[in-house]
């Protein structure tokens, strides 16, 4: 079948760089790859509880699909958004179909033509895509560098324009966190609006897994928090947390919310039940915390610490430069039953290729020790 030459050339270039993306084949390996930090996606009780929730509240008959502004706004949405807002101590919550939709919808709609967006250079692609769709001017600051951010705040502050500062509570490739204790006062000093993507912090940080900002008591100073459910909650969707006015604005102007079919009642019920489990499943959260600490101890014991990005989250990245090298080591780990994926350039910059380990409540200490001991044999041979 005919295919454009320009597109084939780009595929050929990826192939030559050993960076061609392909869909992985599902294998029964020890999971160090998924974002299912608390095991909710594999929790049969949670799945059944979502179905019972629909039955108990007689919501199975109300399954209309369509845009939420037309036919898709079934009654469960109001319950879910109320419960999410209460859990996160926010004025309001608005559910989107995914974290990508939430970021694209927010950043393409909220910052205006005269405004300025200052974003961390390692922000996720969904944030960058939303910023590109915005009419605002955008400038990146050095990763987790409040000095560089203040330089930009001084340069671009204006009485006639709003400034939005954008970062993540846990960075998806590095697993590190910003210093919110410095960042929040800095944005307040320059009267800027702080936007925080909490995708990889939900379920991981806080006494009830509420996320980083809330765990530090700084959430009321954050203009908008984006909570993605496909990581720690093991289900689909996301929510933007903020004021009632922000929710109303997004309902009216966020195109990824307006022009899409809303989630099904079962999907929304799963979100509601997952939040209930988040409050109840203290053992899973504590086990995840213990596994993170044990992983850090083991990489120190085995002399691997220098190759890892500093992280106290569930994401641990071992820098192994070169697409071919990191793919080879990942393949050897997979042959030994451990599902560890390589992260290649251009997803990360050249020279920053890595193995990305995702830790879970259901990983055992034996599995952690074995995979790191294997890694050490491949690295130090």
One pLDDT digit (tens) per residue for the chain, 381 residues: 989 999 999 999 998 888 888 877 666 899 999 999 999 999 999 989 988 888 876 665 555 678 899 888 888 999 999 999 999 999 999 999 999 999 999 999 999 999 999 999 999 999 999 999 999 999 999 999 999 999 999 999 877 789 999 999 999 999 999 999 999 999 999 999 999 999 999 999 999 999 999 999 999 999 999 999 999 999 999 999 999 999 999 999 999 999 999 998 889 999 999 999 998 889 999 999 999 999 999 999 999 999 999 999 999 999 999 999 999 999 999 999 999 999 999 889 999 999 999 999 999 999 999 999 999 999 876
pLDDT at 71: 85
Q: Quick one: which of 222, 299, 267 has its CA closest to 201? A: 222
Domain 45-279, second-level architecture = 3-Layer(aba) Sandwich (3.40)
SS3 (DSSP) at 167: strand
Dist CA 344 CA 174 (whole Å):
13
Inter-helix orientation angle 146-156/180-189, to 10°? 10
Please give the Cα distance from 221 to 218 (Å, whole number): 6
Cβ atoms < 10 Å from Cβ of 346 = 10
Q: pLDDT at position 57, please?
A: 66
Its pTM stands at 0.92
The CATH number, out of the four listed (3.90.1150.10, 3.40.50.920, 3.40.50.300, 3.40.50.720), of the domain defined by the range 21-38+282-380: 3.90.1150.10
Q: pLDDT at position 121, please?
A: 96
Predicted pLDDT at 60: 59
Rounded Cα distance, 377 and 219, in Å: 44
d(CA 258, CA 236): 18
Taking the C-alpha atoms of residue 253 and residue 54, their distance in angstroms, rounded to an integer, is 31
Boundaries of every domain in the chain? 21-38+282-380, 45-279
pLDDT for the residue numbered 159 = 73
Note the pLDDT of residue 238: 98
In sequence order, the 6+-apart residues with CB closer than 8 A to the CB of 353 are 319, 320, 321, 322, 323, 325, 326, 342, 343, 344, 345
State the Cα–Cα distance between residues 336 and 338, nearest whole angstrom.
6
Whole-number pLDDT of residue 58:
67
45-279 matches 21-38+282-380 in CATH topology: no
The pLDDT score that the predictor gives to residue 52 is: 86
């Amino acid at each position: 079948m005919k295919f454009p030459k320009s597109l084939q050339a780009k595929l050929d270039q990826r192939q030559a760089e050993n960076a061609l993306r392909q869909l992985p084949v599902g294998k029964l390996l020890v999971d160090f790859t998924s974002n299912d930090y608390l095991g909710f996606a594999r929790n049969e009780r949670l799945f059944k509880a979502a179905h019972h929730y629909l039955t108990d509240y007689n919501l199975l008959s109300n399954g209309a699909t369509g845009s939420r502004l037309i036919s898709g706004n079934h009654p469960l949405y109001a319950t879910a958004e109320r419960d999410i807002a209460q859990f996160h101590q926010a004025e309001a919550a608005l559910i989107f179909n995914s974290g990508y939709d939430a970021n694209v919808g927010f950043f393409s709609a909220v910052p205006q033509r005269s405004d300025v967006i200052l974003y961390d250079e390692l922000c996720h692609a969904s944030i960058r895509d939303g910023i590109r769709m915005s009419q605002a001017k955008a400038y990146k600051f050095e990763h987790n560098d409040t000095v560089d951010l203040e330089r930009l705040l001084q340069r671009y502050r204006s009485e006639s324009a709003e400034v939005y500062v954008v970062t993540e509570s846990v960075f998806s490739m590095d697993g590190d966190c910003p210093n919110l204790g410095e960042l929040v006062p800095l944005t307040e000093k320059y009267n800027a609006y702080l936007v925080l993507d909490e995708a990889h912090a939900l379920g991981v940080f806080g006494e009830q897994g509420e996320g980083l900002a809330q765990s530090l008591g700084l959430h009321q100073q954050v203009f908008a928090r984006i909570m993605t459910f496909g990581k720690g909650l093991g289900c689909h969707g996301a929510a933007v947390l903020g004021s009632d006015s922000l929710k109303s604005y997004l309902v009216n102007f966020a195109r990824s919310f307006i022009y899409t079919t809303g989630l099904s009642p079962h999907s929304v019920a799963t979100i509601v039940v997952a939040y209930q489990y988040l409050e109840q499943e203290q053992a899973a959260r504590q086990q995840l915390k213990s596994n993170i600490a044990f992983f850090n101890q083991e990489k120190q014991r085995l002399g691997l610490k220098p190759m890892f990005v500093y992280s106290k989250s569930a994401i641990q990245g071992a820098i192994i430069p070169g697409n071919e090298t990191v793919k080879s080591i990942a393949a050897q780990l997979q042959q030994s039953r451990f599902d560890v994926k390589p992260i290649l350039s251009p997803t990360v910059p050249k020279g920053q290729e890595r193995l990305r380990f995702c830790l879970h409540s259901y990983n055992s200490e034996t599995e952690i020790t074995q995979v790191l001991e294997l890694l050490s044999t491949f690295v130090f041979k």
